[in-house]
Structure 1
Amino acid sequence: MSSLHRIRIAEFKAVLGEPKINLAKLRELSFSGIPCEDGLRCLCWKILLNYLPLEQALWSSLMKKQRDLYSQFLKEMIIQPGIAKANLGVSREDVTLEDHVSGEPLNPNPDSRWNTYFKDNEVLLQIDKDARRLYPNMVFFQRPTDYPCRLIMDPQNDFETLRKRVEQTTLKSQIVARNRMGVTNVSTPLKPAAPSSLMEYEPLPKGSEAHWEVVERILFIYAKLNPGIAYVQGMNEIVGPIYYTFATDPNCEWKEHAEADTFFCFTNLMAEIRDNFIKSLDDSQCGITSRMERVYSTLKEKDVELYLKLQEQNIKPQFFAFRWLMLLLSQEFLLPDVIRIWDSLFADESRFDFLLLVSCAMLILIRDQLLEGDFTLNMRLLQDYPTFDVSHILKKAKDLQTSK
């Protein structure tokens, strides 16, 4: 460890050791990158995402309250529904005449428990598919967590886990939906995994659960608590880096509660960026279209030659910037680089305006290739951004910010 790095760690500890955190100073330090040693990044993210208050004396009581609240969510939305009707996992074809006469499963009332259950299953299947394939180049999310949910692993709780619920659910007809970019997604009835994918889908031993299952549970509970937005494809890419950071916290006491802490930090983050996920707001002033246009307007101001080249080739920002902005660049870089970028984004006082400058910097740093390339080459370059030292990208974005 270099002496400079030790100094930075000491600076963070000094700020975080104060009875009341100096938020401006913490933002300034975090913007240049947060050390991962001693759980500093985990603590800083919790403060920057408004999970922990600035008064240090309140931390313990608040975290206990929130973690207890999350346990209550688990009981009400996952455990109790399974206990209430042990056979809720059956398909629609398996509903008995007795059930039909009683008015339960086929009750046309949209508020009926069965109707809600089947609707939840449609959401759960999409979450399951996305959570399973989270960061496929990393084994972390397929590995078992050291802290499986106690409530769910309690043998006295006879209920179906989300994993079992997905396995038992059969939807007779395909669910066809078009995502925001016009791609058609088709969810077919579940089938046994192909031999080539057994490593990805093989269930863990009883009493264990993989990290991706924790992410799935977080997203399912979020969808249940936020029916107005529910689950939108891509939210898994927002939860992933937060959960990974908290689940690898060297502080075992906090690491044990990574699930609950991730849920509330994710919820707070979504409160700030959820407009990006709401299609009806796309063309509004706060929607994703407006933000994409701001990337191009910034580029026009900083590098008019490159801007005109992209305009000439009719390369619209929605062809690439949609994913950059919506998912906070989580799909453009390896996870360690994403986490470093998020240090700066979370520290941004303007709340993600810096992301526009990072996007603009990414364009300028490959300007030579873009100026020389044709439409096909440039589209490939922008949709599969080349390997780059993210420190250079962040430095360029900072230069653009100070050159206003």
Structure 2
Amino acid sequence: MEAHNKRLSDFEDLLNADVIDYTELSKKCFQGCPDVKGMRSLSWKLMLYYLPQKKTEWDDALNKQRRAYKSFIEEMIIKPGSEVKMEDSVSDHPLNPNPDSQWSQYFKDNEMLLQIDKDCRRLYPDLVFFQSATEYPCLRLTQSVNGLENLRKRVENTFLESHTVSRDRHGITKMHCTRRRGNSSNEFHTLGEGEEAHWEVVERMLFIYAKLNPGIQYVQGMNEILGPLYYTMATDPNKEWAKHAEADSFYCFTNLMAEIRDNFIKSLDDSLCGIGGNMHAVMRSLQNYEPRLHQRLMNQSIKPEFFAFRWITLLLSQEFQLPDVLRIWDALFSDKHRFRFLVDICCSMIILVRKDILQNDFAGNMKLLQNYPPTADIESIITTAAQLRQQ
């Protein structure tokens, strides 16, 4: 207990300093951020370079970023024709074939939005948090103010009804209406009017990110990266921080994606900086540290694409329970080499199931690596990875 209190005290001293010592903070975070008093939330904002080093600059930086994010919402989540003059609305309509038409872009955005919506609705299904209502909904969207459009309603309205006309034996014509998509009447189960689920907040951030980054847009899996970030910010016990969790999470996500986005760009898959290069780095590391284990996988033709692709791309967010994911990310964000430590973690994961791999056949090892034991000891994985790095 004394050691625990000392650790909390050291963290508080670091975070309350007038000038943040990034080197010392990284060392502390590598050992795990305390899950109290919003220390992890604040530490991540610092390690992802969202907050400046000098504490006196925080208020100005936060106000500027949060205002900018608000403007993104007002500019990008709006239905065409809601704020145009009458003569403009006549020339620009939903059937306008002009590629520069606002409606043309609107329909293209909808294709992307449908995928974002699908992924966000099933984000951490075993965790009630993302399905519950946020205390700080975007009222301008939930109330459809000034043409701004709720994305969830926008998605629901895109599923048109199909009509089947038939005649019964008495010659009476009947029309049957059915949804073209969805096997369950609860597919669009949502909260009450004016409320907003946390997954809807994640959806909005991903949509705005995609609009601001047309070169990459949205790729499946980005929701798994943003989810833990937003959860950490939104559950901050400091109400003022939690109130602005959406904007803060958005910028932390943007900064994080700037460092790992090459893993999501298909054209870079076979390059050294893309996902292919990172997967081969894992196997090279394994060959150096455990040549027999590496040879076993090679003999069974088990390629890193079969398991390491997801590990690396999603920063292990789908391999473990959320609390363990947060602990792993403490170590990843504190890595001064910016995610080179992820290669060591992946290698240590394989080494820690060494006995099983050497005994299993091809099917057994594929199942083991594609469904890594969720009850694995996270601290052992991180410790082993640190030892590999020192070697």
What TM-score, normalized by structure 1, do the two folds share? 0.88
| Root-mean-square deviation over aligned CA pairs | 2.2
* Residue of 129, 142, 153 corresponding to 2:131: 142
Deviation at 1:111, TM superposition (A): 2.4
* Residue of 178, 184, 199 corresponding to 1:194: 184
Deviations 1:7-39 (A, max 9, x none): 111111111122111111011110110002111
1:82–1:159 CA contact under 8 A, matched in 2:
no
Measured at CA, do residues 101 and 52 of structure 1 come closer, stay the same or move farther in structure 2, by a change above 3 Å? closer
1:21–1:55 CA contact under 8 A, matched in 2:
yes
2:324 aligns with 337
Deviations 1:29-68 (A, max 9, x none): 1011000211111110000001001011001111111111
2:376 aligns with 388
1:49 aligns with 48
- Judge which range, 17-26 or 374-383, deviates more: 17-26
2:357–2:365 CA contact under 8 A, matched in 1:
yes
**Are 1:62 and 2:49 counterparts?**
no
- Judge which range, 18-27 or 104-113, deviates more: 104-113
Separation (CA, whole Å) in 2 of partners of 1:103 and 1:80: 12
SS in 2 for 1:84: coil
Structure 1: give runs of 5+ residues left out of the alignment: 86-98, 173-188
Separation (CA, whole Å) in 2 of partners of 1:255 and 1:266: 16
Deviation at 1:284, TM superposition (A): 1.1
Separation (CA, whole Å) in 1 of partners of 2:215 and 2:6: 46
Deviation at 1:115, TM superposition (A): 1.1
2:19–2:54 CA contact under 8 A, matched in 1:
yes
Deviation at 1:254, TM superposition (A): 0.5
Measured at CA, do residues 383 and 84 of structure 1 come closer, stay the same or move farther in structure 2, by a change above 3 Å? same
Measured at CA, do residues 117 and 79 of structure 1 come closer, stay the same or move farther in structure 2, by a change above 3 Å? closer
1:141–1:212 CA contact under 8 A, matched in 2:
yes
- Judge which range, 257-266 or 200-209, deviates more: 200-209
Separation (CA, whole Å) in 2 of partners of 1:158 and 1:356: 47
Deviation at 1:80, TM superposition (A): 6.1
**Are 1:400 and 2:374 counterparts?**
no
2:169 aligns with none
Separation (CA, whole Å) in 2 of partners of 1:263 and 1:20: 24
2:83–2:147 CA contact under 8 A, matched in 1:
no
2:176 aligns with none
Measured at CA, do residues 59 and 308 of structure 1 come closer, stay the same or move farther in structure 2, by a change above 3 Å? same
Deviation at 1:170, TM superposition (A): 4.0
**Are 1:113 and 2:102 counterparts?**
yes
Deviations 1:221-260 (A, max 9, x none): 0001001100000000000000000010000000000000
2:6 aligns with 7
Measured at CA, do residues 81 and 390 of structure 1 come closer, stay the same or move farther in structure 2, by a change above 3 Å? farther
SS in 1 for 2:60: helix
Map 1:227-266; keep pairs closer than 5 Å.
227-266=214-253
1:92 aligns with none
Map 1:229-308; keep pairs closer than 5 Å.
229-308=216-295
Deviation at 1:129, TM superposition (A): 0.1
SS in 2 for 1:325: helix
Give the greater-gyration-radius structure (CA).
2
Separation (CA, whole Å) in 1 of partners of 2:17 and 2:247: 25
Deviations 1:255-285 (A, max 9, x none): 0000000000000000000000000011112
Separation (CA, whole Å) in 1 of partners of 2:344 and 2:180: 43
2:155 aligns with 166
Deviations 1:75-102 (A, max 9, x none): 00114647338xxxxxxxxxxxxx9994
Measured at CA, do residues 266 and 253 of structure 1 come closer, stay the same or move farther in structure 2, by a change above 3 Å? same
1:177 aligns with none
Measured at CA, do residues 309 and 192 of structure 1 come closer, stay the same or move farther in structure 2, by a change above 3 Å? closer
Measured at CA, do residues 83 and 192 of structure 1 come closer, stay the same or move farther in structure 2, by a change above 3 Å? farther
Map 1:15-94; keep pairs closer than 5 Å.
15-79=14-78, 81=80, 83-84=82-83
Separation (CA, whole Å) in 1 of partners of 2:183 and 2:57: 48
Separation (CA, whole Å) in 1 of partners of 2:317 and 2:45: 19
Separation (CA, whole Å) in 2 of partners of 1:314 and 1:171: 47
1:217 aligns with 204
Separation (CA, whole Å) in 2 of partners of 1:273 and 1:168: 34
2:30–2:334 CA contact under 8 A, matched in 1:
yes
What TM-score, normalized by structure 2, do the two folds share? 0.91
Separation (CA, whole Å) in 2 of partners of 1:161 and 1:14: 42
1:144–1:210 CA contact under 8 A, matched in 2:
yes
SS in 2 for 1:370: helix
Deviation at 1:133, TM superposition (A): 0.2
* Residue of 341, 345, 367 corresponding to 1:358: 345
Letter in 2 for 1:202: H
Identity %: 56
**Are 1:348 and 2:335 counterparts?**
yes
* Residue of 100, 107, 125 corresponding to 2:114: 125
